[in-house]
């Protein structure tokens, strides 16, 4: 979706309409959307476009029977403020992107219905009681089982078979999620002849120093685990990997469109499309507590050939053949 088309789509749903004007439109339902990414990011445009298209398939038309209020928080420090602003508008349901958005909303409100997308470990994070029976005001779509994290190392080894040591970027603030992902990678490392090093994601300086020091030896690689910190620092991580000539695998397509080498993970755009069905059901009277959390139904492999060329890598034909998207 082109940026101009996306802005047009949002035109009828922009935040900031006068309250009186909204009140005059009786019968119009209100959806809040909280995203921990910038509005002009191409990946975000595609995700929101899929969500809007999904709503349209259920008969919801922006400006006719539904309004959408957006808050974009590319700076994670703004999430609490934007979450409060969104909830103050009294939306009928909120769509929340990823764990940081859910954290911000749950700290402020336990009553407004929430449909989350791209959330890791919703049970362990305290967002729901169980996947089958969420039991509260939130439900949605989780990113993946932790066991699939081992596939990142398998993909990395396929693309760069000479790799002997891999740094795994972990977020200490993500609790058991980051630990579980690292454990899954550890489980496959011996069979691939790879040693692992855990590097902590906290701030730009720490990431820069840690990755730079690691990259001083030959035959090194990099994996970013699926955490909020990795997404927040993705531009720096991708830039470091390219500058230091580190073959890398990322957890989401978002990193590859930013210039990263490769990614394997759930199709988040598809999850946004599916999220429209849950928003529709809640607007029709169903409760989040009765809607089971759904696991991904589609995974995707994305390869950036331009980055591969810059790193001097020849991506095997077998990898390209099964890739869902190849960026040239």
CATH number of the domain residue 253 falls in = 3.40.50.2300
DSSP per residue, 106-122:
HHH-SSS-EEEEEES-T
Phi, psi at 293, each rounded to 5°: -65, 135
How many domains does the chain fold into?
2
For residues 222 and 320, give the distance between their C-alpha atoms in angstroms, rounded to a whole number.
20
Q: What is the pLDDT of residue 26?
A: 58
Asked whether residue 212 carries a pLDDT value surpassing 90, the answer given is yes
Q: Are residues 180 and 316 in the same domain?
A: yes
Claim to verify: residue 234 and residue 256 sit in the same structural domain? yes
Same domain, 7 and 107: yes
pLDDT in tens, 84-102: 999 999 999 999 999 899 9
Give the per-residue pLDDT at 286.
Answer: 98
Q: What is the dihedral of CA 114, 36, 129, 84, to 10 degrees?
A: -60
Same domain for 23 and 34?
yes
Instruction: Give yes or no: residues 78 and 158 share one domain.
Output: no
Q: Are residues 55 and 77 in the same domain?
A: yes
Rounded-to-integer distance, Cα 179 and Cα 263, Å: 20
- pLDDT tens track for 261-315: 999 999 999 999 999 999 999 999 999 999 999 999 889 999 999 999 999 999 9
Q: pTM for the complete prediction?
A: 0.84
Same structural domain for residues 318 and 290? no
Residues spanned by the domain of 17? 3-143+267-298
Same-domain status, 136 and 66 = yes
Domain co-membership, 10 together with 93: yes
Same domain, yes or no: 71 and 24: yes
Contact 101, 79 (CB under 8 A): yes
For 168-201, how does the pLDDT look when each residue is reduced to its tens digit (9 = 90+)? 999 887 767 888 899 999 999 999 999 999 998 8
pLDDT value at 21 more than 60: no
If you average pLDDT over each of 16-25, 37-46, 148-157, which comes out highest? 148-157
**DSSP labels for 21-63?**
HHHHSTT-EEEEEEESS-TT-HHHHHHHHHHHHHHHHTT--BT
CA distance 23 to 226: 41
Is the model's pLDDT at 1 over the cut of 80? Answer: no
Q: Which residues pair with 169 in a beta bridge?
A: 199, 224
172 and 288 inside one domain: no
Residues 215, 322 within the same domain: yes
């Amino acid at each position: 979706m082109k940026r101009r088309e996306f802005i047009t789509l949002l035109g009828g749903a922009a935040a900031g309409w006068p309250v009186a004007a909204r009140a005059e439109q009786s019968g119009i339902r209100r959806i809040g959307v909280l995203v921990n990414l910038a509005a002009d990011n191409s990946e975000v445009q595609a995700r929101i476009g899929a969500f809007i298209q999904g709503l349209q398939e259920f008969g919801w038309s922006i400006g006719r029977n539904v309004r959408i209020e957006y808050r974009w928080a590319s700076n994670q420090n703004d999430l609490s403020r934007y979450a409060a602003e969104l909830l103050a508008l009294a939306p009928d349901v909120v769509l929340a992107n990823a764990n940081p958005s859910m954290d911000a909303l749950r700290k402020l409100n336990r009553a407004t219905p929430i449909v989350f997308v791209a959330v890791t470990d919703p049970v362990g994070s305290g967002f729901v009681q169980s996947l089958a029976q969420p039991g509260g005001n939130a439900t949605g779509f989780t990113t993946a089982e932790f066991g699939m994290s081992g596939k990142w190392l398998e993909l990395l080894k396929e693309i760069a078979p000479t790799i002997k040591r891999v740094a795994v970027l972990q977020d200490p603030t993500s609790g058991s999620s980051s630990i579980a992902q690292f454990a899954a990678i550890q489980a496959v490392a011996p069979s691939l002849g790879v040693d692992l090093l855990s590097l902590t994601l906290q701030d730009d300086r720490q990431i820069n120093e840690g990755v730079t020091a690691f990259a001083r030896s030959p035959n090194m690689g990099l994996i970013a685990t699926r955490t909020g910190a990795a997404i927040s620092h993705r531009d720096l991580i991708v830039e470091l990997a390219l500058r230091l000539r580190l073959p890398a695998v990322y957890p989401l397509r978002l990193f590859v469109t930013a210039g990263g080498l490769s990614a394997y993970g759930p199709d988040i755009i598809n999850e946004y499309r599916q999220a429209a069905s849950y928003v529709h059901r809640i607007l029709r009277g169903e409760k989040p507590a009765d809607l089971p959390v759904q696991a991904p139904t589609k995974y995707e492999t994305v390869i950036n050939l331009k980055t591969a060329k810059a790193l001097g890598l020849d991506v095997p034909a077998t990898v390209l053949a099964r890739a869902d998207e190849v960026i040239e």
